[in-house]
């Protein structure tokens, strides 16, 4: 009976968000909790567990999961404590059971204040405990695939969709790979062709964009006889670490030459199309004009303050523009603002209160906006996202200024889908403008109700205008920050 140990560590770091990701921001699960929390969800771990449930004689050994919403770099002591805890949980389980294989569920774009490759470090420690057994890892396509990870992991299995809708299937693919390795007779040849390329923009949408064509080449490879895994990891452009880049990954059974040819062909395709992978942004005033001319819902994508990409979520740039404009349609704006929430909670529902909104986390970029607002509703902040996972925003308050409803939360949340709003009494369909803090991930949730989408050009720590960001560590030259001569 093979015993398969599994663990999870996930967070996506935005190095330009000055607010660090603290220890308390990591939701932790141990052992059986890890199983019960994920069963029935649309996640990698549930896909992995469901495949394994159908295989006779497999015993799963859950260890620990630590996961946080995206945020600033992780302080050195916090990262050490988290990794130590995961490692200790694995040590305990491995001391009581023979471990035949390992599945690591990683995001892949974490960065510590001093550690540039937390996932590689964790895998190194895990391997030191379990020894030379098959090790498969699933990763987000925004993962930064480091040389250390490539060396230590037998098969890396990346997402294939952007916006991400294939987490469950990725877990299934990882499970299938692990089962092949356990059966034996398979020797994975993993090849990654690095590209000095940072990408943004709509061509990344896999259903419609150029990037989708590259992913479909990867899927053909996976479907072929010797194909084990393939993907194009674009990295999170806001995780400023030396190995931030795009990697084309191909894993074939025993066929290194073929894997190299495949990876180079797809790398050439990405590089040839590099000019397409830039974001086209619209000024906030033009975006408001678009909404004025559109009788339906216009979604404003505030990608520069995308909490899903690791930004602080306290940008009031779009709010300021809406307040200053004479647009009188109903608007819905989310904001992370712990002090403003506290003040509104203290005053109570129905109160009219003067709040300084925004800029509480990233005051270098955003100055607070003084507004007299009405406190409409106060919530305990517990709700469920569309994927079935729990969200917790601390206290959550809805306040109203004129035609603008503002969802204020104490703790960072994903402002991507509709449920974060609906759970707090605001149905996006009732508004003319809804601001999401997400570059593209919101699209599957809004396609059916939004008639226009504006990628708004405002400042922020996750701006798609990459030249506006203070990169320090990424290896240069890198496109589009630099002109790059590349021979492939
Ligand atoms: Zn991602």
Among 71, 294, 94, residue whose Cα is nearest residue 79: 71
- For residue 455, report the phi and psi dihedrals to the nearest 5 degrees: -85, 100
**CA 308 to centroid of ligand 1, rounded, Å:** 8
**CA 233 to centroid of ligand 1, rounded, Å:** 10
pLDDT tens-digit map of 345-365: 999 999 999 999 999 999 999
**CA 230 to centroid of ligand 1, rounded, Å:** 16
Mean pLDDT to the nearest integer, 302-317: 95
Tokens found for residue 150: 């490539």
Looking at domain 3-276, what is its CATH homologous superfamily? Response regulator (3.40.50.2300)
Q: Does position 487 have pLDDT exceeding 90, yes or no?
A: no
- CA dist 80 and 486 (Å) reads 38
**CA 184 to centroid of ligand 1, rounded, Å:** 32
Q: What is the pTM of this model?
A: 0.89
**CA 131 to centroid of ligand 1, rounded, Å:** 30
**CA 414 to centroid of ligand 1, rounded, Å:** 12
Binning pLDDT at 50, 70 and 90, where does residue 52 land? Answer: very high
Alpha helices (runs of H) in 389-472, residue ranges in sequence order: 419-422, 443-446
Residue in the block written with tokens 């979604």: 299
Q: 76-96 vs 118-130: helix axis angle to the nearest 10?
A: 20
CA 328 to each of CA 291, 320, 358, 404: distance values in angstroms, whole numbers, following the listed order? 11, 14, 22, 9
**CA 326 to centroid of ligand 1, rounded, Å:** 36
**CA 244 to centroid of ligand 1, rounded, Å:** 14
**CA 142 to centroid of ligand 1, rounded, Å:** 5
Is the distance from CB of 253 to CB of 224 less than 8 angstroms?
Answer: no
Is the distance from CB of 406 to CB of 426 less than 8 angstroms?
Answer: no
**CA 157 to centroid of ligand 1, rounded, Å:** 13
**CA 348 to centroid of ligand 1, rounded, Å:** 38
**CA 357 to centroid of ligand 1, rounded, Å:** 29
% the chain with pLDDT above 90: 97
**CA 353 to centroid of ligand 1, rounded, Å:** 38
**CA 191 to centroid of ligand 1, rounded, Å:** 21
Spell out a b/e string for 329-344, using b for 16 or more CB atoms within 10 Å of the CB, else e: bbbbbbbbbbebbebb
Is the distance from CB of 292 to CB of 321 less than 8 angstroms?
Answer: no
pLDDT at residue number 488: 85
Question: Could you tell me the residue ranges of all domains in the chain?
Answer: 3-276, 282-463
Strands 331-336 and 433-436, sheet pairing: parallel
**CA 372 to centroid of ligand 1, rounded, Å:** 37
Vertex 13 angle, CA 12 and 14, to 5°: 130
Q: Which residues pair with 392 in a beta bridge?
A: 382
pLDDT, the chain, mean: 97
DSSP labels, 111-150: -BSS-S-HHHHHHHHHHHHH-S--EEEEE-TT----HHHH
- For residue 484, report the phi and psi dihedrals to the nearest 5 degrees: -130, 130
**CA 159 to centroid of ligand 1, rounded, Å:** 8
**CA 12 to centroid of ligand 1, rounded, Å:** 8
**CA 320 to centroid of ligand 1, rounded, Å:** 29
**CA 349 to centroid of ligand 1, rounded, Å:** 37
Binning pLDDT at 50, 70 and 90, where does residue 1 land? Answer: confident
**CA 42 to centroid of ligand 1, rounded, Å:** 15
**CA 237 to centroid of ligand 1, rounded, Å:** 11
Q: What 8-state DSSP symbol labels residue 158?
A: E
Among 194, 188, 272, 170, residue whose Cα is nearest residue 227: 188
Among 159, 117, 116, residue whose Cα is nearest residue 137: 159
DSSP labels, 336-354: E-HHHHHHHHHH-TT-EEE
Q: Does position 153 have pLDDT exceeding 90, yes or no?
A: yes
Mean pLDDT to the nearest integer, 170-185: 97
**CA 99 to centroid of ligand 1, rounded, Å:** 30
Is the distance from CB of 313 to CB of 394 less than 8 angstroms?
Answer: no
3-state per-residue secondary structure call for 193-260? EEECECCCCHHHCCCCCHHHHHHHHHHHHHHCCCEEEEEEECCCCCCCCCCCCEEEEEEEECCHHHHH
pLDDT tens-digit map of 227-257: 999 999 999 999 999 999 999 999 999 999 9
**CA 383 to centroid of ligand 1, rounded, Å:** 22
% the chain with pLDDT above 70: 100
CA 46 to each of CA 12, 172, 340: distance values in angstroms, whole numbers, following the listed order? 20, 8, 37
- CA dist 257 and 191 (Å) reads 9
**CA 140 to centroid of ligand 1, rounded, Å:** 5
- CA dist 231 and 263 (Å) reads 9
Contact partners, residue 36, CB within 8 Å, separation at least 6 = none
**CA 419 to centroid of ligand 1, rounded, Å:** 19
**CA 163 to centroid of ligand 1, rounded, Å:** 8
- CA dist 408 and 396 (Å) reads 6
Mean pLDDT to the nearest integer, 50-54: 97
């Amino acid at each position: 009976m093979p015993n398969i140990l599994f663990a999870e560590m996930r967070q996506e770091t935005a190095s330009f968000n000055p607010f660090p990701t603290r220890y308390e921001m990591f939701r932790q699960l141990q052992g059986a909790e890890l199983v019960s929390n994920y069963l029935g969800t649309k996640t990698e771990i549930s896909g992995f567990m469901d495949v394994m449930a159908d295989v006779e004689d497999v015993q799963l050994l859950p260890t620990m999961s630590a996961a946080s919403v995206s945020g600033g770099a992780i302080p050195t002591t916090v990262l050490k404590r988290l990794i130590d805890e995961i490692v200790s949980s694995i040590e305990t389980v491995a001391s009581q059971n023979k471990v035949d294989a390992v599945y690591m569920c990683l995001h892949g774009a974490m960065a510590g204040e001093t550690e540039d490759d937390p996932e590689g470090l964790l895998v190194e420690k895990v391997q030191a405990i379990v020894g030379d057994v098959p090790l498969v890892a699933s990763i987000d396509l925004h993962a930064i695939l480091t040389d250390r990870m490539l060396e230590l992991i037998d098969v890396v299995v990346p997402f294939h969709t952007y916006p991400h809708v294939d987490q469950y299937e990725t877990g299934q693919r990882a499970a299938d790979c692990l089962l092949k390795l356990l059966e034996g007779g398979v020797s994975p040849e993993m090849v990654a062709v690095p590209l000095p390329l940072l990408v943004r923009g709509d061509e990344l949408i896999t259903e419609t964009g150029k990037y989708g064509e590259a992913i479909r080449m990867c899927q053909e490879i996976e479907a072929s006889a010797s194909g084990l895994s393939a993907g194009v990891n674009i990295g999170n452009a806001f995780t400023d670490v030396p190995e931030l880049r795009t990697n084309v990954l191909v894993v074939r059974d025993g066929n290194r030459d073929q894997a190299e040819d495949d990876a180079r062909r797809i790398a050439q395709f990405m590089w040839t199309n590099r000019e397409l992978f830039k974001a086209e942004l619209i000024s906030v005033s033009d975006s408001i004009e678009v909404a004025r001319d559109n009788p339906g819902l216009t979604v404003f994508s505030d990608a520069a303050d995308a909490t899903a990409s690791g930004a602080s979520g306290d940008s009031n740039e779009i709010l300021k523009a809406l307040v200053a404009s004479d647009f009188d349609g109903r608007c819905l704006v989310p904001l992370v603002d712990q002090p403003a929430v506290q003040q509104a909670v203290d005053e109570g529902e129905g109160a009219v209160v003067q709040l300084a909104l925004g800029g509480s986390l990233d005051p270098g970029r955003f100055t607070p906006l003084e507004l007299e607002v009405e406190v409409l509703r106060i919530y305990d902040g517990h709700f469920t996202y569309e994927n079935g996972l729990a969200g917790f925003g601390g206290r959550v308050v809805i306040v109203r200024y004129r035609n603008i409803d503002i969802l204020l939360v104490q703790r960072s949340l994903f402002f991507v889908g509709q449920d974060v709003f609906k759970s707090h009494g605001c149905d996006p369909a009732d508004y003319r403008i809804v601001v999401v803090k997400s570059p593209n991930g919101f699209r599957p949730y809004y396609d059916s109700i939004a008639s226009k989408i504006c990628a708004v050009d405002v400042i922020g720590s996750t701006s798609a205008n990459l030249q506006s960001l203070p990169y320090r560590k990424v290896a240069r030259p890198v496109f589009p920050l630099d002109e790059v001569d590349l021979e492939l």
